[in-house]
Amino acid sequence: MKPYIIAPSLLSADFARLGEEAAAVLAAGADMLHLDVMDNHYVPNLTVGPLVCEALRKYGIKAPIDVHLMAKPVDQLIIDFASAGATHITFHPEASRHIDRSLDLIRKQGCRAGLALNPATSLHGIEYVLDKIDLILVMSVNPGFGGQHFIPSALNKIAHVKALIKTAQHRIHLAVDGGVKVDNIQAIAKAGADMFIAGSAIYGASDYAKAIAAMRMQLNGAT
Ligand code: DX5
Ligand code: ZN
């Protein structure tokens, strides 16, 4: 298993050519795709629903797709995205009335379950559902938009999440989402992250393979 996962966020892709853009980052060395689902209610932006995930599968995308739900409520979306081909479903605890139940639902649908933590969301309570989580996603920007700056306090939080993950009996990935760039990815890895979501840093580059290779080079220096 590769120690580090690079997951480009499709939010910064050219939506008129989404299938091609998804295939292009995978051909350029990405491990996974990250699909940002925004509902203009939980976050002040509106993106895509399950039919777009399904369209990517129909286009021939075989790689894992992490669906990042920035939407409220989550339970029906979990069911719909699982049948649309999501492999991972991550939601924000504030968006579910019953976090434990929503996590169960994700696994029952055959997907990996993730919890996403906003910059000011504490880890409080996560220890009680750790056995139901496959991924903890630390938001290093406020959710809603691509191209924002990395919030430095996220590094400290990553270290706290890492310590929590170490107490689990199974593998839990630590993802970081927002403002991840070639020049900060090494520090983020050193703080304890193993999964890197990057939108503008990859899709904003003229050569996706070069951008991903530059990130991997920095990651090699982190271990
Ligand atoms: C923000 C999204 C992120 C975003 C990352 O709400 O969850 O996935 O697309 O974009 P960059 O890498 O440009 O910050
Ligand atoms: Zn995201």
Instruction: Tell me, in angstroms, the distance from the centre of ligand 1 to residue 144's CA.
Output: 8
Cα–Cα distance for residue pair 59/73, rounded to 1 Å: 28
Instruction: Tell me, in angstroms, the distance from the centre of ligand 1 to residue 67's CA.
Output: 12
Which ligand is located closest to the Cα atom of residue 178? 1
Nearest by Cα to 189 from 155, 212, 160: 155
The dihedral over CA atoms of 214, 219, 220, 223, expressed in degrees to the nearest 10, equals: 170
pLDDT, tens digit (0-9, with 9 covering 90-100), for 84-119: 999 999 999 999 999 999 999 999 999 999 999 999
Residues 6+ apart with CB under 8 A from 144: 38, 43, 44, 45, 70
Q: What is the mean pLDDT of the chain?
A: 97
Instruction: State residue 2's pLDDT score.
Output: 58
Cα–Cα distance for residue pair 84/49, rounded to 1 Å: 9
Q: Is the CB of 96 under 6 A from ligand 1?
A: no
Instruction: State residue 223's pLDDT score.
Output: 78
Cα–Cα distance for residue pair 191/208, rounded to 1 Å: 25
Known catalytic residues are 36, 177
Instruction: State residue 175's pLDDT score.
Output: 98
Residues near ion ligand 2 (CB < 5 Å) are 36, 68, 177
Q: Residue ranges of the chain with pLDDT lower than 70?
A: 1-2
Which homologous superfamily is 5-220 in? Aldolase class I (3.20.20.70)
